[in-house]
Amino acid sequence: MSGTARPLVSVRNLAKSYQRGPEKVEVLHGLDLEIAEGEFLALMGPSGSGKSTLLNLIGGLDTPTAGEIEVAGERIDRMSPGELASWRSRHVGYIFQFYNLMPVLSAQKNVELPLLLTGLSAARRRRNAEIALALVDLADRTRHKPNELSGGQQQRAAIARAIVSDPTLLICDEPTGDLDRHSAEEILGLLQELNHEYGKTIVMVTHDPKAAESATHTLHLDKGVLVEQPAHAV
């Protein structure tokens, strides 16, 4: 983390466990983590190390067993489910491995979906979706449905959907995991642009060392414990 940027995310003594029948499965063990505003962090580690669990906790999709999570000055670990849902809609954009686009909707309508939770007019929602799609170089595909788009184009539409509400934080879970190398490089370049040119704070889980090289900072999780790696030059 840069010494000059204030932390956007602060995680203190974070623990997460699940009950599996009579067995208690501990996934994360007393983690401390700070993520600076404007950072692009890659989380790596073997399957079962807790990467996606940590990502879901930071993004407000899950709640911790113990510890504190503060994002942009708000203690999200103290929020009720309703408060957390409202907070997510205002502050977090999600990008998943398999796009999660609605197959019956056009790219534009898919991108508009997060804005349905706001008070924006239909015209303003449409305009914001068009701007987001243009930003990811899909201005000529607004009326196409997901099955009319390539995998890379579908992921770009998913990124447009994630950024259309101008979120505080972008949460990416294996965003290139279902793409060929060329499409993956395009997506990673787009994430770098969002980070460098638009100042978006990004937390990305990946198994791919090449993808991690796009980040400004890499952390490894091993059995629920963070291990820092040297920063990449980008």
Contacts of 104-107 spanning 24+ positions with Cβ under 8 A: 104/145, 105/145, 106/142, 106/143, 106/144, 106/145, 107/133, 107/138, 107/141, 107/142, 107/143, 107/144, 107/145, 107/146, 107/149, 107/157, 107/160
What pLDDT, on the 0 to 100 scale, is given for residue 231?
A: 45
pLDDT, one tens digit per residue, over 76-124 is: 999 999 999 889 888 999 998 888 899 999 999 999 988 887 778 889 9
pTM attached to this predicted model:
0.87
Domains, the chain, in order of start with CATH, read 7-228 (3.40.50.300)
What pLDDT, on the 0 to 100 scale, is given for residue 5?
A: 58
Please state the rounded mean pLDDT for residues 149-153.
91
